[in-house]
Amino acid sequence: IIESYDKTELPEGAILEYAYELNEGTVWSNLEPVIIFLRNENPLVAKPRVYQSSLSELFDEQILEWLNKPKHIAFLPKGFLKLTFYPN
């Protein structure tokens, strides 16, 4: 779930959903969602930061690796974003 804090880009309270894939074969049961803050002005210099951990270092790291690819960030809205990733 993506929430934008930049009202010029999305209507207030707008929530978008995107699909993502991580390594197969890993069981992600009993995890909390990881919450990431991201200022998405330029996909090449965006630096995602963990606000709330999922309580799994591996899951958090894989989400950050996924987000550190400019091709993934390029599809996100511009502005200051709160990204919530739920384990499957």
Chain-centroid distance of CA 2 in Å reads 7
For residue 6, the model assigns a pLDDT of 52
For residue 43, the model assigns a pLDDT of 67
The pTM of the full predicted model, rounded to 2 decimals, is 0.70
Q: Which residues of the chain have pLDDT under 50?
A: 7-8
For residue 2, the model assigns a pLDDT of 55
Q: What is the pLDDT of residues 3-20, one digit of tens each?
A: 555 544 555 555 666 666
- Burial annotation 65-85 (CB, 10 A radius, 16+ → b, else e): eebeeeeebeebeebebbbeb
For residue 8, the model assigns a pLDDT of 44
**In angstroms, what CA-CA distances link 49 with 52, 65, 73?**
9, 12, 13
